[in-house]
Amino acid sequence: MTERRRVFSGAQPTGEPHIGNLIGALNNWVAMQDDYDTVYCVVDLHAMTVPYVPSELEKERRQLAKMVLSVGVDPSRSLFYYQSDVPQHVELAWVLTTLAGVGQLERMTQYKEKSDRTGQSFGLLAYPVLMAADILVHKAHAVPVGDDQTQHLELTRDLAERFNSRYGELFPIPERITPEIGARVMSLTEPTSKMSKSDPSPRSRILLTDDDDQIVAKVRAAVTDTGAEVAYDWTAKPGISNLLEIYSFFTGRPIPDLIAEHRDGGYGAFKEAVAQAVAEGIRPIRKAYEALSDEEVAQVMSVGAERGRELAEGTMMTVREAVGLS
């Protein structure tokens, strides 16, 4: 029997998860369980690279873990844990830091953007190295990433190649997996910007815990475009194009079919159909989330951490030997 390729992915516990997280990441986490050996992680150490409130971090990482389980990630099929519970992530990150170039890290788009907003710190600069360690400590073959993480995956590939060249072939070079649709869900209030947990407007995003009335209200208020024709054109009609992608995801129907059905029906009727589809899709996730207790989540994450340490330690034993630390 052929051994399944391993996939790693992590999510930051900052803010409440929204449909952009579901479409761009969490739904794919669930689907990949069928075809890959999957390792998923709440990357709480990454959340410390910008100013934060400790009590909020504690709450948000628990909420995210709960949501990941609620959307369908099965801990009997996937390894799932808190990053900080597996110290081998940080140990490998230090080894990789000795191979990383400062100039390459300073050129990272996210570093430049976040340092402008929150100030420069070594944690923010070294963030992509820890991300590389997250992937490589489990010898992942592939990583699902959106366009905004492409630079970080390229750095991971570079560091794996540098390590292999200097110390011997130990790490696979991870490949990119990109979702066919919804890799970048846009804001409902500013459809040229990515939907974000940090957007000051709560109307910009639909939370996975929103009830039906909240969802309908947000979709009805979504910014659209001039004219009345429903068309898929990201240049001329970014608002409608964004809603079409969201609609397609929640109905499973191709965008051309949705356009044919709603092309001349006006934006009001189209938005109502989108809202009902989203509300219907979110409802079972919200109910699963409400039914899951904090104690159940803590037990799942404890078991996952133990398995994660065991798997990561296998990698680190060979790394220590390769670099002369065994």
Active site residues per annotation: 114, 194, 197
Residue type, 218: K
CA distance 279 to 85: 35
Give residue for tokens 């191979």: 99
CA distance 90 to 285: 33
Residues 6+ apart with CB under 8 A from 252: none
CA distances from residue 68 to 40, 171, 180 in whole angstroms, order as listed: 9, 28, 21
CA distance 264 to 161: 54
**Sign, CA torsion 99/104/110/115:** positive
**Burial of 1 by CB count in 10 Å (0-12 exposed, 13-18 middle, 19+ buried)?**
exposed
Beta-strand runs (E) in the chain = 6-11, 37-42, 79-82, 142-144, 175-177
Listed residue (143, 70, 137) closest to 300, CA to CA: 70
Partners of 81 in beta bridges: 41
The phi and psi torsions of 16 (rounded to 5 degrees) equal -90, 140
Query: Which DSSP symbol is given to 80?
Result: E
Q: What is the CA radius of gyration of the chain?
A: 21
Contact 179, 141 (CB under 8 A): no
The phi and psi torsions of 238 (rounded to 5 degrees) equal -65, -35
Contact 219, 204 (CB under 8 A): no
Give residue for tokens 């804001």: 187
